[in-house]
Amino acid sequence: MEEITYTREFLDHFKNPRNTGEIKDPDGMATVSNPVCGDTMKLFLRIEGDRITEIRYKTFGCEASIAASSVLTTLVKSRSLAEATALTPEEISQALGGLPRVKQHAADLVIEALEEALDDYRARRGKGKS
C-alpha cells in the first residue's frame, strides 16, 4: 500500500482551515460528492460585480478534501469570475505542495464544487433578469 506523506502547506490548511462555515442567502452555492469515496463539499459564494468577495464551505471527508477546500477559498477569494473559472485541480494540488497520487481526486472535488456554484450563480442571475 502506498505510504501517504503530506507537505507543510497541506498540514497548515488541514490544521487551520480557512473560510469555513456558510453564507446566508448566497449568490451561488453547490453541494458536490465524490461518487467513489463519498466526501462531500458544500460551497457558498458571495459575488459583487465581477468579483467573488466571500467564499465559505462545509466539507465532510478526509484530510485531503479539507485541505483542498481550504486552499480553494484562499485562491478564489477576491478573484474575478473569469479567474475563478480558469482554476484547475492541478493548481489546487500545487498550492498544497503536491497532493499524494491517491488523493488527487480531492482537488477534482473542490473544482467541481466551484464550477457548480458558479453555474448556480449564473442561473440565478439569468432568472433575476427575466
Contact residues for ligand FES (CB under 6 A)? 34, 37, 39, 61-62, 64-65, 105-106, 109
- Least Å distance, CB 80 to ligand FES, is 28
Q: Which is nearer to ligand FES, 43 or 81 (CB)?
A: 43
- Least Å distance, CB 76 to ligand FES, is 19
**CA–CA separation, 107 and 61 (whole Å):** 13
Q: Which is nearer to ligand FES, 36 or 82 (CB)?
A: 36
Q: Which of 106, 40, 24 is nearest to 72 (CA)?
A: 106
| 117: CB partners within 8 A, 6+ apart | 28, 29, 30, 43, 44, 45
- Least Å distance, CB 65 to ligand FES, is 4
Q: Which is nearer to ligand FES, 33 or 94 (CB)?
A: 33
**CA–CA separation, 45 and 1 (whole Å):** 38
How many C-beta atoms surround the C-beta of residue 122 within 10 A? 12
Q: Which is nearer to ligand FES, 2 or 25 (CB)?
A: 2
